[in-house]
């Protein structure tokens, strides 16, 4: 296997007096869809926020393309080709859809498009990929449905020309049909196109449907790492660590 694109090595993380993650060793490899599953409070967001240096105190080592990025400011980590779609979407509600997208193209962590191997993400390509956003481009982002807002958040992330798309519970609050049409369809298309995806989810069927590899986070430690098929078979593990 090639050197990992992202690696957490002996990473513990937490907030002031509360330690949340305990010595995590995990890698993301180029071209895979890695799903990290876990119950509410398991530490999934903390795992991502440790990587992006977005708040938690971190011990251990984080690397991107083998380079130690521990303690780097968030925008420098993002410039290495990592785009985070935060839990709850993080779009500017008062801005029109189009202006939210334009802002993303100006973001300081946007990579020069020549750096990427694939076709660059432009407003035009975003509107081709998400026709609904083209229809709603003049609408205030706050007026979008949950599914539309998730498309906008994904589009904003893609406009920074990432190599890895990191999604924090994208299916949260969406109806089953929207989960399929917005998340499943687009993540599958993007992965087929060569994008590496780190998908954090509580939705086990969605993760099993999309992932090439699965990890289960439970009480701040890794309880499982393996294929979606192996997790699907292990009902006892699902019951104990995922509550399904
Ligand atoms: N900013 C924070 N300050 C203090 N505690 C936090 C903070 N964010 C999360 N936590 C705590 O860390 C634990 C893990 O949270 P989180 O990483 O958000 O889990 P998940 O994303 O799996 O639901 C929870 O007990 C939560 O209350
Ligand atoms: Mg979370």
Are 186 and 199 a contacting pair, CB within 8 Å?
no
Separation of CA 200 and ligand 2 centre (Å): 8
pLDDT at 166 over 80: yes
Structure letter (DSSP) for residue 180: I
Q: Residue 116: its pLDDT value, please?
A: 53
Residues 81-102 pLDDT 10s: 999 999 987 778 889 999 999 9
pTM value?
0.96
Q: Name the pairing type of β-strands 33-37 and 196-201.
A: parallel
Structural domain boundaries in the chain: 6-242
Ligand 1 pocket, residue 46 CB under 6 Å: yes
Over range 148-164, report the average pLDDT: 96
**Looking at residue 162, what DSSP letter applies?**
-
Q: Is 163 in the pocket of ligand 1 (CB under 6 A)?
A: no
pLDDT of residue 238: 96
Cα separation of 237 and 232, whole Å? 9
What is the chain's percent helix, strand, coil content, to nearest 5? 40, 25, 35
Chain Cα centroid distance, residue 146: 17
pLDDT digits (tens, 9 = 90+) for 25-62: 999 999 999 999 999 999 999 999 999 999 999 999 99
> In the numeric block, which tokens belong to residue 76?
């420098």
Percentage, residues of the chain above pLDDT 90:
88
Please name which ligand lies nearest the alpha carbon of 170.
Answer: 2
Among 8, 43, 220, say which to mutate for ligand 1: greatest number of ligand atoms within 8 Å of CB: 43
pLDDT value, residue 114? 53
Asked if 137 and 96 count as a contact pair (C-beta separation under 8 A), the reply is: yes
Fold (topology level) of 6-242: Rossmann fold (3.40.50)
Residue nearest to atom 3 of ligand 1 (CA): 15
């Amino acid at each position: 296997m090639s050197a990992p694109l992202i690696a957490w090595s002996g990473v513990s993380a937490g907030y002031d007096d509360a330690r949340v993650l305990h010595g995590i060793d995990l890698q993301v490899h180029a071209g895979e869809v890695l799903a990290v599953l876990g119950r509410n409070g398991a530490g999934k967001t903390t795992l991502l926020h440790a990587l992006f240096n977005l708040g938690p105190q971190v011990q251990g080592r984080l690397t991107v393309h083998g380079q130690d990025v521990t303690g780097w400011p968030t925008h420098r980590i993002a410039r290495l080709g990592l785009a985070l779609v935060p839990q709850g979407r993080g779009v500017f509600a008062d801005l029109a859809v189009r202006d939210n997208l334009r802002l993303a193209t100006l973001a300081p962590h946007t990579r020069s498009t020549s750096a990427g191997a694939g076709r660059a993400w432009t407003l035009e390509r975003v509107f081709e990929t998400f026709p609904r956003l083209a229809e709603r481009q003049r609408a205030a982002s706050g007026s979008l449905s949950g599914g539309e807002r998730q498309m906008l958040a994904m589009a904003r992330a893609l406009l920074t020309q990432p190599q890895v798309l990191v999604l924090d519970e994208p299916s949260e609050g969406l109806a089953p049909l929207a989960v399929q049409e917005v998340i499943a369809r687009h993540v599958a298309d993007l992965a087929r196109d060569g994008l590496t995806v780190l998908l954090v989810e509580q939705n086990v069927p969605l993760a099993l449907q999309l992932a090439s590899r699965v990890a289960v986070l439970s009480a701040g430690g890794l309880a499982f790492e393996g294929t979606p098929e192996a997790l699907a078979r292990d009902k006892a593990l699902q019951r104990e660590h995922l509550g399904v």
